[in-house]
């Protein structure tokens, strides 16, 4: 388990973050519905040579969740910019997975943050995006937020297992489910889905271009959420320096193949 015991106030809302190690900075950004704990097998190894920062995105993990909260992609990239300013670091390496990848991409192409390097793992980045499930939740968010606990947990388990190639360990399922398990967390889970806005992907995608820092892509080859063909498309749009497929991983390579994912990162960090 990573210790996420520091707090930062962002627009009056509490953000949980932590860090490990010393050296040049690396920021790890999780996706949805994960948390900073997705990096628990990765961060300690990177911290042998770097100062590693990790945080729970707004409305996720141990960060604040509340009714009426704005957790759109625009807000998450603004949060990234605010944290970088708070930490007082310049040109960090950034590693982003899933919606964390979109936050990192928007952070540079929309917010104008300069990175030392950018590493994207099965990133939400290009259109088309979303699913019938996302659209259904957006139309009936209150009904989903009112699901009985057993139905909510069953839906959550099915959702995250669909993101993995191998059966997820019970320990991992419980770790990821815990922040979404009470009434506040349940509402926050469906709020995140309902507020996913394709226009935020479109805005960033129009700006993609070759960067003045190296960009590296890592992709689970068996990803059914964001197929590897979209990773290849992103590779061309940002002129990525490398593209590493992981053969026996789906969308959440952190759980399917953490050693392979770490090795792919270490090749370019």
pLDDT digits (tens, 9 = 90+) for 190-216: 999 999 999 999 999 999 999 999 999
197's tokens? 């806005």
Q: Per-residue pLDDT tens for 108-163?
A: 999 999 999 999 999 999 999 988 899 999 999 999 999 999 999 999 999 999 99
Residue 225: cis peptide before it, omega within 30 degrees of 0: no
- pLDDT for the residue numbered 169: 98
Average pLDDT over residues 159-172: 98
- pLDDT for the residue numbered 236: 98
- pLDDT for the residue numbered 29: 99
166's tokens? 């191998």
- pLDDT for the residue numbered 47: 98
Query: CB of 134 within 8 A of CB of 196?
Result: yes
% residues pLDDT > 90 (the chain): 99
Neighbours of 110 (CB within 10 A): 17
Query: CB of 95 within 8 A of CB of 190?
Result: no
- pLDDT for the residue numbered 198: 96
User: What is the Cα–Cα distance from 23 to 46, expressed in whole angstroms?
Assistant: 10
Average pLDDT over residues 162-181: 98
Among 221, 191, 161, smallest CA distance to 60 is for: 191
Neighbours of 94 (CB within 10 A): 29
**DSSP run (H or E) holding 6:** strand 6-10
Q: Per-residue pLDDT tens for 12-39?
A: 999 999 999 999 999 999 999 999 999 9
Residue keyed to tokens 């993101």: 163
- pLDDT for the residue numbered 101: 98
Calculate the average pLDDT of the chain. Answer: 97
- pLDDT for the residue numbered 40: 98
Q: Catalogue all structural domains in the chain, each as residue range(s) with its CATH number.
A: 6-128+198-266 (3.40.50.1820)
Average pLDDT over residues 69-84: 98
Local confidence band at 254 (pLDDT 50, 70, 90 cut-offs): very high
- Phi, then psi, of 50 in degrees rounded to 5: -140, 160
Q: What is the DSSP letter of 112?
A: -
- pLDDT for the residue numbered 42: 98
């Amino acid at each position: 388990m990573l210790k996420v015991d520091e707090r930062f106030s962002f627009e009056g809302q509490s953000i949980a973050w932590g860090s490990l190690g010393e050296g040049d900075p690396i920021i790890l950004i999780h996706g949805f519905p994960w948390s900073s704990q997705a990096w628990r097998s990765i961060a300690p190894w990177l911290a042998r040579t770097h100062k590693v920062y990790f945080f729970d995105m707004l409305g996720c993990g141990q960060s604040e969740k509340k009714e009426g909260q704005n957790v759109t992609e625009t807000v998450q990239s603004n949060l990234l910019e605010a944290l970088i300013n708070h930490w007082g670091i310049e040109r960090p390496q950034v590693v982003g997975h899933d919606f964390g990848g979109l936050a990192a991409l928007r952070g540079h192409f929309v917010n104008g943050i300069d990175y030392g390097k950018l590493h994207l793992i099965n990133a939400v980045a290009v259109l088309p995006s979303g699913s019938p499930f996302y659209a259904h939740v957006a139309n009936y968010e209150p009904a989903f937020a009112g699901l009985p606990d057993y139905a909510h947990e069953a839906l959550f388990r099915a959702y995250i297992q669909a993101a993995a190639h191998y059966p997820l360990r019970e320990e991992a399922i419980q770790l990821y489910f815990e922040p979404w398990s009470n009434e506040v967390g349940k509402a926050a889970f469906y709020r995140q889905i309902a507020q996913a806005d394709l226009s935020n992907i479109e805005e960033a995608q129009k700006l993609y271009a070759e960067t003045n820092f190296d960009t590296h892509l890592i992709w689970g080859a068996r990803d059914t959420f964001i197929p590897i063909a979209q990773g290849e498309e992103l590779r061309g749009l940002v002129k990525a320096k490398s593209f590493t497929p992981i053969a026996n991983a789906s969308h959440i390579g952190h759980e399917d193949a953490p050693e392979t994912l770490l090795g792919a990162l270490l090749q370019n960090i």
